[in-house]
Amino acid sequence: MATEATTTVAKFQDPDLRPVTQKPEFKPEIAHDGLKFWQFMIAGSIAGSVEHMAMFPVDTIKTHMQALRPCPLKPVGIRQAFRSIIQKEGPSALYRGIWAMGLGAGPAHAVYFSFYEVSKKYLSAGDQNNSVAHAVSGVFATVSSDAVFTPMDMVKQRLQMGEGTYKGVWDCVKRVMREEGVGAFYASYRTTVLMNAPFTAVHFATYEAAKKALMEVSPERVGDEEGWLVHATAGAAAGGLAAAVTTPLDVVKTQLQCQGVCGCDRFTSSSISDVLRTIVKKDGYRGLLRGWLPRMLFHAPAAAICWSTYEGVKSFFHDINGDSNTA
């Protein structure tokens, strides 16, 4: 009897026979945090649409500042770009292309936030302070969402350049398809991913760290009334920092998307190195920082709006789910 017991104990001590810890089963209908996958998609879609619509005029100014036109080039500040747009085309020009943004931002942000939440759940393994998991999840999110957003972002920027080149969203889409082919819609995709991968890595890691720090400063005050302020402040810090770091690649992206429009240079290839060399040759290294200020002025408040809206919609779904569970 003792021999059998010893043998049994030995079997369980054998490393090949020890129980293996099972990974959590993937259930897309419940992503995490008590919300369903589709609820994250709706929250992200609303947040992205509100963010981009609210800050659209600043984005238009940034696009005008970054577009590379024939020499000689002169430094263009925010006031100069704003005054030029108003004098030439009127205040409505600040909103040209907003419908293209609306068509792209909603679906893209639905993909963006849902991929982020699901990735964060499985990469962080329950550790809410895992900055690496937050950063990597952000990269996964942007690679996926950029595939959805890039075509409409190209249409949006071409419409922002104005001067009557296109009559509207669908006219731009049809003409680009006919004159340049489908590839033109994704000419900047590689650049966009290379820009947004570090952007979102910095953004999400900074946001999660800033949110945690702000909540630790005064945890008793972080309720429904003041929680939005934490999300807005953390989002603004994350958006501003990430925007500053990635401005040069954003300039390259704008060049590729606006090439051939309103006198902008046309490139023989979508090679990032070729575009960088052209910018430096024609405008010097300062050309890589064109539009950095409006970019920061866009992304800091935009991220604040986006995160506070996103967390607000999530809170709304939490209330609904709680009511349905208690019913």
Residue pLDDT, tens place only, 261-285? 766 667 777 788 888 888 888 888 8
pLDDT reported for residue 69: 58
Cα–Cα distance, 169 to 117 (Å, whole number): 32
Cα–Cα distance, 47 to 249 (Å, whole number): 25
Enter the tokens of residue 9. Answer: 């104990």
Residue 169 has pLDDT above 50, yes or no: yes
Residue 6 has pLDDT above 80, yes or no: no
- pLDDT band per the 50, 70, 90 thresholds, residue 20: very low
pLDDT reported for residue 73: 47
Does residue 259 or residue 302 have the better pLDDT?
A: 302
Name the residue type at position 10: A
Enter the tokens of residue 275. Answer: 């575009």
Question: In the 8-state DSSP scheme, what is residue 167?
Answer: S
**Window from 16-20, 32-36, 199-203, 250-254 with minimum mean pLDDT:** 16-20
Residue % of the chain over a pLDDT of 90: 12
37-317 folds as: Mitochondrial carrier fold (1.50.40)
Residue 203 has pLDDT above 60, yes or no: yes
Residue 289 has pLDDT above 60, yes or no: yes
pLDDT reported for residue 156: 92
pLDDT reported for residue 28: 47
Residue 21 has pLDDT above 70, yes or no: no
Mean pLDDT value of segment 92-106: 90
Cα–Cα distance, 130 to 205 (Å, whole number): 9
pLDDT reported for residue 71: 42
Q: How many CB atoms lie within 10 A of CB 298?
A: 24
Cα–Cα distance, 44 to 314 (Å, whole number): 9
- pLDDT band per the 50, 70, 90 thresholds, residue 324: low
pLDDT reported for residue 150: 92
- pLDDT band per the 50, 70, 90 thresholds, residue 171: very high
Phi-psi region of 166 (alpha: psi -120 to 50; beta: other; left: phi over 0): beta
Q: How many CB atoms lie within 10 A of CB 260?
A: 14
Cα–Cα distance, 33 to 42 (Å, whole number): 15
pLDDT tens, residue by residue, 228-249: 788 888 889 898 988 988 888 8
Residue pair 154/184 in contact by the 8 Å Cβ criterion: yes
For the chain, the straight-line distance linking the first and the last C-alpha, in angstroms and rounded, comes to 56
Please tell me the total number of residues recorded for the chain in this structure.
Answer: 327
**Dihedral in degrees, nearest 10, Cα atoms 82, 87, 91, 97:** -70
**Window from 64-68, 107-111, 211-215, 294-298 with minimum mean pLDDT:** 64-68
Residue pair 271/46 in contact by the 8 Å Cβ criterion: no
Q: In terms of Cα–Cα distance, which of 44, 66, 40, 43 is closest to 243?
A: 66
Mean model confidence pLDDT for the chain? 80
pLDDT reported for residue 163: 67
Residue pair 289/281 in contact by the 8 Å Cβ criterion: no
Mean pLDDT value of segment 45-51: 90
